[in-house]
Amino acid sequence: MTSAESKSELFTVTTGDGGDAHQNQPKKLSFYEHYIQPCMAEVLGSTLFMFVGCVSVMGNVGISGSIQPALAHGLALSIAIAIFGEISGGHFNPAVSVCVYLIGGMELILLVPYVLSQMLGGVIAASLAKAVTTNEAFANATGAAFDAVQSPHGTGSATVAEMIMTLFLTMVVSMAAVNGRTRSHLAPFCVGLTVTANILAGGGISGACMNPARAFGPAIVSGHWEYHWIYWVGPLTGTLVTVSLVRLVVGDKKIRVIFK
């Protein structure tokens, strides 16, 4: 699959093993469209998605549990993927970008710029969220940083929860958006619904981050770094489990490395 062809596939942003080859050869993308514009889309999409998520958390303290943040994160992510997916693939999450790269959906040269773009988007989103909320709401929600883990005794369960929830999320991305046999036009909504379900299920255990950039931005703005490592170790471990399963078991011929 050429880089231009892969632009028609959500999450798949450049030459890789995933997906079936197309017969028609679209016009080759310019340098700007291939490298610069996708990173800009990741910054903008991450900012909009995470802004909505952060504001929903700040406005939800003591009101409706996980329902408001779950719906806000899931809906905002679905919309962001739908509108930016044709430009960048609509990752907005370092764990997703690592997963897509490892299953053959993007070039290595784009991986680090994508992750940096997503982290920048997280910082901008958290800054904007702080600007539009009251100091009291910001303080009560710890600036939308993740504070579900209150003691060292909860770090193990929180890390495992993040790993499992991210495994679920990245598996949905892999199978609904990259894998040729199971790819679906409903991928944006499948991904958004997965985030919503995970937050409803695991919000009380770890905060249900599944996204290192979503944790990083509010941590920078609020200065809340306690147990921040969980939101890198858990999601990235879950990503590696997903990649192993897709590459070895459930991927199509172009993705599987065995039993071809």
Q: Is the pTM of this model over 0.85?
A: yes
CB contact burial 116-148 (16+ within 10 A = b; e otherwise): ebbbbbbbbbbbbbbeebeeebbeebbbbbbeb
Measured in degrees and rounded to the nearest 5, phi and psi for residue 107 equal: -80, 150
**232 vs 139: CA distance, rounded Å:** 24
Of the candidates 51, 42, 181, the residue with the CA atom closest to the CA atom of residue 112: 42
Place of tokens 């997703």: 96
pLDDT in tens, the chain (260 residues): 333 344 435 677 544 344 444 445 556 889 999 999 999 999 999 999 999 999 999 988 766 678 999 999 999 999 999 999 999 999 999 999 999 999 999 999 999 999 999 999 999 999 999 999 999 999 999 999 999 999 999 999 999 999 999 999 999 999 999 999 999 999 999 999 999 999 999 999 999 999 999 999 999 999 999 999 999 999 999 999 999 999 999 999 999 999 87
247 close to 255: Cβ distance less than 8 angstroms: yes
How high is the pLDDT of residue 62? 66
pLDDT digits (tens, 9 = 90+) for 246-260: 999 999 999 999 987
CA 188 to chain centre: 11
133: left (phi over 0), alpha (psi -120 to 50) or beta: beta
How high is the pLDDT of residue 61? 74
How high is the pLDDT of residue 17? 41
Residues comprising the chain, all counted = 260
How high is the pLDDT of residue 66? 87
Q: State the DSSP H helix or E strand holding residue 21, giving kind and residue range, or none if neither.
A: none
**185 vs 59: CA distance, rounded Å:** 33
- CA dihedral (255, 94, 191, 33) positive or negative: negative
Q: Which long-range contacts (CB under 8 A, 24 or more apart) does 23-30 make?
A: 26/2, 28/2, 28/3, 28/4, 29/3, 29/4
How high is the pLDDT of residue 13? 59
**59 vs 76: CA distance, rounded Å:** 16
Place of tokens 């899931």: 74
How high is the pLDDT of residue 29? 86
- CA dihedral (151, 156, 157, 159) positive or negative: positive
Residue 81: partners with Cβ closer than 8 Å, 6 or more residues away: 10, 45, 90, 92, 187, 188, 191, 192
Burial of 31 (0-12, 13-18, 19+ CB in 10 A): exposed
- Max distance between CA atoms of the chain, in angstroms, equals 58
Locate 259 and state its tokens.
């039993």
pLDDT digits (tens, 9 = 90+) for 6-34: 443 567 754 434 444 444 555 688 999 99
Domains of the chain: residue spans and CATH: 3-21+32-250 (1.20.1080.10)
